[in-house]
Structure 1
Amino acid sequence: MTGHDELRCMLMRGGTSKGAYFLAGDLPADPAARDDLLLRVMGSPDPRQIDGMGGAHPLTSKVAVVSASEHPEADVDYLFLQVGVDAPEVSDRQNCGNLLAGVGPFAVERGLVPAGEAETSVRIRMVNSDDLATATFPTPGGRVDYTGDAEISGVPGTAAAVVIEFPPGGSPLLPTGNVRDTIAGTEVTCVDNGMPTVLLAASDLKITGYEAPKDLEEDLALADRLREIRLTAGRLMGLGDVEHTTVPKMTLLAPPRDGGAVTTRTFIPVRCHTSIGVLGAASVGAGLRIEGAVGHDLARLPDGDRLRIEHPTGFLDIETSVADGAEGARPVARRTAVVRTARKIFDGTVFPRSAGTAPVRHAQGENG
């Protein structure tokens, strides 16, 4: 354990998010002490996060905690923590598929997994949900190479491809048991293919689905309606009271405009995502393939497994397939894979601000 006045840390961009990566052994074992320390590292609570590493937005106020895994099908464990920006809150209620892209390279950098001579595959257990993923990335000469020609929307330039494949999860694809539910007079599809997500047709909410995120965030009537739907959907999906969590995600769907399968606007939960999360896109992609689900009819579904999910700053390509359940049971996800990129920004020592008196609110998940 390092001293809490200084802490070993690697700042990485993973997909379209940015976060601080830590070895579990470098953080306090007690969750309350850990969360207090991370709030001070990130500079929360403060809408500017001026006194820490956070970037004043949920997408840049994230933490990955990585350790060697005892799971027989995993090399490392990855715990994702969402650190509140202007609230003293740390949540482990969800995964983050974007920071997941950096977990494999980080594990190699920290010596948890040996590097291959050309490429390395790291098997990852996502502690938040107990799901598994395998990340494969280039390691020429036994060193992580972050350079390459893979390009993802929302990130300038190019980088090495990180191919992430998800085996079918154990959770029901349709957690309410229904292809459609009606909540607050609005038809929705509740789907979970790695991220609890509620699919809604934008037109049912009296918007086009092509608005800029900022404009949607300023629509107070829309915010109130989404909140009402989300709170009810959370209970129906078995998530309990989601008042102080960021799940389920709320994804508004509209017909594609740029050659993709569908256009999306996703709320997390009150900020509108400038792109879309990897696991959220996995849930959207699976949901679109279910006949009768919200979005199935308005989407342009191509042949093959690959779907292009349009979002405010471009697109995300994801490969997903869904199979009918046995003997008339509900559909099940069969395969999900995505190409992302990651980059090491700095590796060094972070100095948390001094301990204060702000209370810590820990939103604990089932596996927390």
Structure 2
Amino acid sequence: MSRIPCVLMRGGTSRGPFFLSSDLPQDPAARDAILFAAMGSGHPLQIDGIGGGNPLTSKVAIVGPGRQQGTDIEYLFAQVNVDRALVDTAPNCGNMLAAVGPFAIEQGLVAAGDPETRLTILNVNTGKRIEATVQTPDGAVSYEGDTAIAGVPGTAAPVRLAFLDAAGSKTGRLLPTGALRDEVQGVPVTHFDMAVAAVLVAADSLGKSGREAPADLDADRLFMARLEALRLTSGQLMGLGDVGDMVIPKPILLSRPTDGATIDARYFMPHSCHTAVAITGAVCIAAACCTEGTVAHDLAVLPAPDARGRRMLVIEHPSGRTPVEIEQDPDTGEIRRVAVIRTARRLFEGFVHVRDKVA
């Protein structure tokens, strides 16, 4: 057996092992073979590895020092398929991102300040930068605090994530098709790329209320097949090619919210419905809500912006609500900055053992 150092961390509503990039092969194929074996994929329970048998707990973060000017850390996210020998590094994961700053500080990649540490993370998947603010009283990471987030029990210290240049994360354009809305297989949609490439659909366009439980949506095989067919076509239209083995674009069902929220969402990963909402998905939804002419804007109940163009949007989802702060240029409407609050926790550290024939 080969022993590879790793730290298991919760980031937002996701969980997975964090590795230093120097501890894994630089060759992508060799790296992915190790990740697949380490997580125990190829079995629905990932029984022979450290994965949790669910897309939310079959995620990996690979972290190293920043090599570009103005960045402190580089972070590569890997979504490891539970059942198949497939590792997808196309998208970012904003929930795992919440734990990158604490991990980097505790591994000695970034010097801690007092009472907090601000660092700039380059997401290698998308080439985009995120500013993370981590609580570090007396120069040490603190995980204890009063911040609660939907989908996670208890409270913890806040981690603030500000997405600095999130537009065109994978396609290079906020509107990958150049249009605010398109029609795909007779369904009006908006193709939108802000932090994650997504296809936004009004739930009633697909015969849904948008308030269904995730398990009920997953169990509707005819609906899921229709959603996947729509996603595959959208991938072609967005310039992503054949997305059958990719987790983007993400399909997102939207509907009108209840009192106090901006919009209601059901976010797909893409072959099952998230029990909450991915943070990159929340950023994407919020930005689309603030873009006149999109499917999201039609359904949103928007608060008025302040003099600087800032407003707090609230994304409603199966586990509760996720607030997202948007800052837009008051004159042009350009989205300057999107910020969210997450929490994270270090769960355990040690070594994952991988058979030598894999490593």
TM-score band, normalised by shorter chain: over 0.9
Normalising by structure 2, we get a TM-score of 0.94
Equivalence for 2:353: 351
The answer to whether the 8 A contact 2:162-2:338 is kept is yes
Which residue identity lines up with residue 233 of structure 2 in the other structure? T
**1:14 matches 2:11:** yes
What is the CA–CA distance in structure 1 between the aligned matches of 2:44 and 2:259, rounded to whole Å? 34
The answer to whether the 8 A contact 2:167-2:193 is kept is no
Give the drift of 1:89. Answer: 0.7
Equivalence for 1:202: 203
Question: In structure 2, the residue corresponding to 1:346 is in which secondary structure?
Answer: strand
* Corresponding residue to 2:342 among 332, 340, 343: 340
Equivalence for 2:325: 319
The answer to whether the 8 A contact 1:23-1:67 is kept is yes
Question: In structure 2, the residue corresponding to 1:6 is in which secondary structure?
Answer: strand
Change (3 A) 1:324 1:139: closer
Which residue identity lines up with residue 312 of structure 1 in the other structure? P
Equivalence for 1:192: 193
Q: Name structure 2 gaps, 5 residues minimum.
A: 306-310
Moved more, 225-234 or 59-68: 225-234
Equivalence for 1:92: 89
What is the CA–CA distance in structure 1 between the aligned matches of 2:334 and 2:176, rounded to whole Å? 11
Alignment of structure 1 residues 67-146 onto 2, 5 Å: 67-146=64-143
How many residue pairs get aligned? The number is 350
Which residue identity lines up with residue 57 of structure 1 in the other structure? N
The answer to whether the 8 A contact 1:286-1:322 is kept is no
Equivalence for 2:223: 222
Give the drift of 1:322. Answer: 4.2
The answer to whether the 8 A contact 1:40-1:355 is kept is no
Percent identical among aligned pairs is 48
Structure 1 residues 54-87: Cα deviation after superposition (integer angstroms, max 9, x where no partner): 0100110000000011110100100001101011
**1:32 matches 2:29:** yes
**1:53 matches 2:50:** yes
Change (3 A) 1:41 1:325: farther
Change (3 A) 1:21 1:68: same
Equivalence for 1:307: 313
The answer to whether the 8 A contact 1:104-1:122 is kept is yes
Normalising by structure 1, we get a TM-score of 0.92
Give the drift of 1:315. Answer: 1.2
Question: In structure 2, the residue corresponding to 1:282 is in which secondary structure?
Answer: helix
The answer to whether the 8 A contact 1:160-1:341 is kept is yes
What is the CA–CA distance in structure 1 between the aligned matches of 2:166 and 2:40, rounded to whole Å? 35
Change (3 A) 1:238 1:43: same
Alignment of structure 1 residues 246-265 onto 2, 5 Å: 246-257=247-258, 259-265=260-266
Give the drift of 1:107. Answer: 0.5
Give the drift of 1:239. Answer: 1.4
Q: Name structure 1 gaps, 5 residues minimum.
A: 357-368
What is the CA–CA distance in structure 2 between the aligned matches of 1:170 and 1:204, rounded to whole Å? 26
What is the CA–CA distance in structure 1 between the aligned matches of 2:163 and 2:178, rounded to whole Å? 22
Give the drift of 1:325. Answer: 9.2
The answer to whether the 8 A contact 1:69-1:76 is kept is yes
Moved more, 224-233 or 272-281: 224-233
Give the drift of 1:303. Answer: 2.1
Give the drift of 1:30. Answer: 1.4
Moved more, 49-58 or 166-175: 166-175
Which residue identity lines up with residue 277 of structure 2 in the other structure? I
Which residue identity lines up with residue 316 of structure 1 in the other structure? T
What is the CA–CA distance in structure 2 between the aligned matches of 1:295 and 1:214, rounded to whole Å? 24
What is the CA–CA distance in structure 2 between the aligned matches of 1:214 and 1:135, rounded to whole Å? 33
